[in-house]
Amino acid sequence: MGGERPKKDLQKRRGLQLAVKNRTTPWSYRKGYSPLHKLPAGAKLVFLLMLSLVAFFPGTETNSLILLGAIAFILVLLSFAAGIGPVALLRGSSPLFLIILGVFLFSALELSPPGINLEGLIETFIFSLRIGAAFSAGTLLFSVTTPREIRKSLSRAEAFLRIEKLNLGLYLSLMLGFLPRFFETWEDLNLAWKSRAGKKNLSLLATLVPLAVERMMLKAAETAEAMEARGSV
């Protein structure tokens, strides 16, 4: 009996490792030969960035819903064209939506008299759709474009504008490159949490978010040291 529990724990950990291995990390590049993979990185970056900004365009509730519906339709079509499907666009977004919903639902509660502000709930819903659209656009971009392609495209834009000395392309590509790395870090921490029988609740966010931020700060420091050693900055 005493040896059965360690054996079950080991099997559970192996099962989690296999599941994570088979699951694509959010915002990670997916090798392919689709039309979107072959498009210039700069064109994809500009288009999807503009699509994300349009999602936050102010307007009435009806106009916002129509606009967000159109954006969602475009992203779904592009996801099929990229060969990844629409389900993959929101993979890994649950912690983000939990935080958003928690903050907005708290602001929608009315204490005197007790009740719920329906306008606050509608705003929460629309804002969640906007975040979902921006998140999906980012997922699509990094699924069909490598950080190296993005950096090359930004370097060509700098050369065309004759602003190479500003190194804006380098800084922007580094910033964009850290977004997929955050999800890699989050996946590692989430696996460790699950292997210790951790549950998906607020304690998960309270524990893992500070750890993820700490690891990203360490990676940023390591990247800065490496670039200084090569004389890139």
Per-position pLDDT tens, the chain of length 233 = 445 555 555 455 555 444 444 456 777 888 888 999 999 999 999 999 999 999 999 888 899 999 999 999 999 999 999 998 898 898 877 777 777 777 776 766 666 676 677 777 788 788 889 999 999 999 999 899 988 888 888 888 877 777 766 666 666 767 777 777 777 777 788 778 878 777 776 677 778 878 888 887 887 777 767 766 665 55
List the beta bridge partners of residue 114. Answer: 111
Nearest partner of 101 among 72, 129, 71, judged by Cα: 129
Helix (H) / strand (E) element for 109: namely strand 109-111
pTM of the shown model: 0.69
**Which amino acid is located at 164 in the chain?**
E
- Distance between CA atoms of 164 and 16, rounded to whole angstroms? 46
Phi, psi of 63 (to 5 degrees): -65, -40
In contact, 164 and 56? CB cutoff 8 Å: no
In contact, 68 and 127? CB cutoff 8 Å: no
Other C-beta atoms closer than 10 Å to the C-beta of 138 total 20
CA–CA–CA angle 44, 96, 221 (5° rounding): 75
Query: What local confidence, expressed as pLDDT, does residue 133 receive?
Result: 92
Query: What local confidence, expressed as pLDDT, does residue 23 receive?
Result: 54
DSSP conformation letters of 186-202? HHHHHHHHHHTT--SSH
Q: Does residue 168 sit in helix, strand or coil?
A: helix
| Residue pointed to by tokens 């040896």 | 3
In contact, 51 and 137? CB cutoff 8 Å: yes
Query: What local confidence, expressed as pLDDT, does residue 12 receive?
Result: 52
Helix, strand, coil % in the chain, rounded to nearest 5 = 80, 5, 20
Nearest partner of 103 among 209, 212, 202, judged by Cα: 202
Nearest partner of 27 among 129, 147, 130, 128, judged by Cα: 147
Q: Does residue 34 sit in helix, strand or coil?
A: coil
In contact, 208 and 94? CB cutoff 8 Å: no
Q: Count the helices and strands in the chain (H runs, E runs).
A: 9, 2
